Amino acid sequence: MDLKELREKANLSAERVAVELGKSVSTIRFWEAGTYIPSLSPSETLQLTRLYRCTLEELSESFIETQRKSGKKLN
């Protein structure tokens, strides 16, 4: 499951996630497109797992899947 699918599974809009994390909507969309790999603080990471109702492992796997689908390599 990629990052967008994980967000949609939690019935959240990109706009809602952006507001909750204090990020722009375009930032969330860039993450979901695999354009950028987010630099999240530990508290932001925890907040994202709570928003998406997932484990840290599921969140990590979703970032990997997003990158795989985008054809970009994780550094």
- What's the pLDDT score for residue 1? 96
Angle at 17 between CA 11 and CA 18, to 5 degrees: 150
- What's the pLDDT score for residue 37? 85
- What's the pLDDT score for residue 73? 64
Domain spans of the chain? Answer: 3-70
Fold of the domain built from segment(s) 3-70: 434 Repressor (Amino-terminal Domain) (1.10.260)
Angle at 14 between CA 8 and CA 16, to 5 degrees: 100
pLDDT tens across the length of the chain (75 residues): 999 999 999 999 999 999 999 999 999 999 999 998 888 999 999 999 999 999 999 999 999 999 999 987 655
